[in-house]
Amino acid sequence: MTLDLAAPLRGPDAAPWLAPERYWPELTAATDHVPAPVGALHLGALRHNAQDMVRRAQGTPIRVASKSIRVREVLEAVLRVPGYRGVLAFTLAEAIWLADRVDDVVVGYPTSDRASLRRLATDRGLAQRITLMVDSPAQLDLVDSVLPAREREELRVCLELDASWRAPVLGHLGVRRSPVHDPRDAAALAAYIARRPGFRLVGLMAYEAQIAGLVHRPRGRPVTGAANRWMQGRSMPELVERRAAAVAAVREHADLEFVNGGGTGSLEATSADGSVTEIGAGSGLFGGHLFDGYSQFTPAPAAAFALDVVRRPGPDHVTVLGGGWIASGVPGADRLPLPVWPRGLEYLRREAAGEVQTPLTGPAARTLAVGDRVWFRHTKSGELAEHLGELHVVDGGEVVDRLATYRGEGKVFL
């Protein structure tokens, strides 16, 4: 089937995930014929998330972050929804693969993949569809070491501006990405690119991870949430001013086609920044449990995975096979998958989620039998596709399609 994510959600069944006692058993019944581990993608919930992200972006187009999805058919379905435009890929090899069916792909990170660079540089169609990320002359030098400008296509590049906050006393708050922080440094690099044969500067990107990627109300950590809100309330105004100055400075040297910023957690704040023309986001489509900690939106649990109980170590414990599908970031409990059904299950502190087995305890453990299923929500982005070859699309209480993940298509890019 062709995924239709633009269809309206109507009637009493528009949000079944709001009734967990109905939602999870229906997923169990729909996929009980599928051997565990099984990944489910609820069509209505995915549709809700896709449309809600457009609403939150308030007219600013969303570039889909592929690392959070890693399912080609889902990426293409999202791009058919008004309000989405283009893909933000994570490697050049992935971008080349996607560009066979997507005509606008920005590689979100610099590359040193010489084989892929050679392919890009010798294919006019790819060179017109794909934009490379750069933040220093060294990355341009690497491209020219593969093929000098006179022997290849002109390559599109995007300049990345560091969006972190250099806070008084606290110092650097945000992720360590580009070394280009000040508008004058961005202008200097833009001028250099403009003089360099074989490259065309078409975009600027500034990803405010400290806004988009830190939750406002983390579960069980009110002090951390208060600190995050304090930081974000000061970091965003600083970035809006600095990003606008950087964009203006870069436009003195290049005719920018796009200015990219933000993420799932900052759609409202980033769309209010007049210098931004598009927002990169993807994690909110599948609705990992990390995003339950944001105050301004509530994603539907569109994607989830189920594991089977295979042993009962004691009356208050069960063990499922697998489970250690850990999210990236600083190690902690919030990086673990969240057991959501049956209710009343929790990890053992000394074991947590294991690579091949995960013991669980809690009231629900007393009632589970060998062969029963336990549903988990992943934390934030691409964990499901890294462990599963396909996702089963559930609609109306039955499986209506099976979608291959990158892994299912034989692709492992990073």
Using the predicted structure, report yes or no on whether residue 280 has a pLDDT greater than 80.
Answer: yes
Q: Is 315 exposed, middle or buried (0-12, 13-18, 19+ CB in 10 A)?
A: exposed
DSSP character for 367? T
Residue 8: inside a domain: no
Give the pLDDT mean for 332-344: 93
Q: 405: alpha, beta or left, given left = phi > 0 and alpha = psi -120 to 50?
A: beta
- Predicted local confidence at residue 236, as pLDDT: 80
Q: Would residue 254 count as lying in a domain? A: yes
Residue 217 has pLDDT above 90, yes or no: no
Residue 241 shares a structural domain with residue 348? no
Average pLDDT over residues 189-210: 94
The pairing of strands 199-206 and 258-261 is parallel
DSSP secondary structure letters along 218-286: -TT-HHHHHHHHHHHHHHHHHHHHHHHHHHHHHHTT---SEEEE--GGGHHHHHT-TT--EEEE-HHHH
pLDDT tops 70 at residue 363: yes
Q: What are phi and psi of 192, to 5 degrees?
A: -65, -45
State the total domains in the chain.
2
Q: What's the Cα-to-Cα distance from 303 to each of 6, 213, 218, rounded to whole Å?
A: 18, 19, 20
Same domain? For 26 and 49 the reply is: no
- 379-413 residue pLDDT tens: 988 899 999 999 999 999 999 999 999 999 999 99
Model confidence at 68: pLDDT above 80: yes
Residue 318: domain span: 16-42+298-409
Looking at residue 53, its pLDDT comes to 96
Instruction: Indicate the angle between helix axes 114-121 and 137-146, nearest 10 degrees.
Output: 70
Give the percent of the chain with pLDDT over 70.
93
Do 312 and 215 fall within a single domain? no
Which pLDDT value is given to residue 361?
A: 97
Last residue of a domain, one of 283, 312, 331: 283
**Mean pLDDT of the 321-340 span:** 90
Over residues 300-329, the mean pLDDT reads 95
pLDDT digits (tens, 9 = 90+) for 73-114: 999 999 999 999 999 999 999 999 999 999 999 999 999 999
Q: Do 36 and 83 lie in a common domain?
A: no
- Residues 117 and 96 sit within 8 Å (Cβ to Cβ): no
Same domain membership, residue 214 and residue 269: yes
398 φ, ψ (degrees, to nearest 5): -145, 160
The pLDDT of residue 208? 83
Residue 10: which pLDDT band, with cuts at 50, 70 and 90?
confident
Give residue 165's identity as a one-letter amino acid code: W
Angstrom CA distances, 388 to 36, 97, 402, stand at 10, 20, 12
Quick one: which of 335, 313, 336, 342 has its CA closest to 323?
Answer: 336
Cα(227)–Cα(293) distance, integer angstroms: 14
Whether the full predicted model's pTM is greater than 0.85, yes or no, is yes
Of the residues 225, 252, 283, the one at which a domain ends: 283
Bridge partner list, 89: 107
Rounded distance, CA 83 to CA 62, Å? 6
Decide if 117 contacts 111 (C-beta within 8 A). yes
Same domain for 171 and 303, yes or no, is no
Q: What is the pLDDT of residue 214?
A: 63
Q: How many residues in the chain?
A: 414
Looking at the fold, whether 185 and 38 belong to one and the same domain comes out as no
Co-location of 160 and 147 in the same domain: yes
Q: Is residue 95 domain-shared with residue 217, that is, in the same domain?
A: yes
DSSP state of 187: H
- Compute the distance between CA of residue 375 and CA of residue 24 in angstroms, rounded to an integer: 7
> Distance (Å, rounded) from C-alpha 137 to C-alpha 140?
5
Among 76, 71, 138, CA closest to 389 = 71
What CATH number corresponds to the domain at position 379?
A: 2.40.37.20
Looking at residue 314, what is its pLDDT? 93
d(CA 161, CA 163): 6
